[in-house]
């Protein structure tokens, strides 16, 4: 279901891009080309940038044996390559995964998450992060980012007088495209991010075999995340829980949230628990 929803959202985003190109009289091929080049570079270097922006440090041999042991067990179980493991000095309990594919992946955890979670809960969180790698969510995010970058490129060019205005497009349509399209693009990207989080919860629960442990971990993360983590907003969607805590979970704020409400994630995991046998 999450795959279908993600595909539908990407299709909708593509339609928004096509509408904007037509309404603003822009060259769609050129916009997509420049967006592709930009995101091609980001696709290969986003992992390193994400780790650098969070000041994550590699876990050295002999350190954080619980993390190393759990990841080793889960990757062997799923027949996945061993990702790079990193630690972030932060009291906020959180974790994220990055990398363009399973062979070039990394998982980072904060020191805070190691203090508040027990081993089963930590295993649930790490299984969630491995599921992002397994499901190639970074690729999905890159496609969405490319479409958004192309749309942003077109509206910026139009702002400076570019585009072919002789196509007979009604001025009102151009105004709608100029103002509403970028907003719609952001909302769709955030919806894709939330959908991928639900998908990672489900796959992570299947990997660990214990959805209730992940549900408990999410509740603890929410409980102990009182202050925002000082990270670049561009990487906030990578974390298992929004490190910025920038938007309210109610009303319009939900549309611009990178993560679904914790209560809904916990509800789904508890529902999932009835159909999974523990190992």
- Catalytically active residues are 129
Contact 244, 229 (CB under 8 A): yes
Contact 105, 133 (CB under 8 A): yes
Distance CA 122, CA 113 (A): 8
Sole residue written with tokens 């109610």: 250
Distance CA 227, CA 96 (A): 18
| Residue among 250, 257, 261 nearest 187 (CA) | 257
Structure tokens at 50: 């994400």
Distance CA 120, CA 105 (A): 23
Classify 93 as helix, strand or coil. Answer: coil
């Amino acid at each position: 279901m999450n795959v279908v929803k993600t595909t539908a959202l990407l299709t909708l985003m593509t339609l928004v891009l096509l509408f904007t190109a037509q309404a603003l009289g822009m060259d769609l091929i050129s916009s997509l080309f420049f967006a592709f080049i930009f995101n091609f570079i980001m696709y290969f270097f986003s992992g390193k940038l994400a780790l650098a922006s969070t000041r994550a440090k590699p876990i050295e041999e002999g350190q954080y044996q619980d993390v190393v042991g759990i990841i080793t067990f889960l990757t062997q179980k799923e027949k996945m390559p061993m990702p790079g493991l990193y630690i972030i000095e932060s009291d906020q309990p959180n974790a994220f995964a990055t990398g363009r594919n399973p062979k070039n992946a990394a998982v980072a955890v904060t020191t805070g998450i190691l203090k508040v979670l027990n081993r089963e809960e930590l295993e649930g969180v790490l299984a969630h992060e491995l599921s992002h790698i397994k499901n190639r969510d970074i690729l999905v995010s890159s496609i969405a980012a490319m479409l958004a970058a192309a749309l942003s490129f077109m509206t910026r060019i139009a702002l400076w007088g570019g585009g072919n205005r002789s196509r007979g497009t009604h001025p009102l349509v151009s105004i709608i495209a100029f103002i509403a399209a970028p907003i719609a693009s952001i909302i769709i990207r955030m919806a894709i991010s939330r959908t991928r989080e639900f998908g990672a919860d489900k796959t992570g629960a299947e990997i660990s075999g214990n959805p209730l442990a992940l549900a408990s971990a999410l509740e603890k993360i929410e409980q102990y995340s009182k202050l925002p983590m000082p990270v670049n907003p561009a990487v906030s969607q990578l974390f298992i829980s929004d490190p910025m805590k920038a938007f309210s979970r109610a009303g319009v704020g939900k549309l611009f949230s990178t993560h679904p409400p914790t209560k809904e994630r916990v509800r789904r995991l508890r529902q999932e628990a009835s159909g999974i046998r523990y190992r």
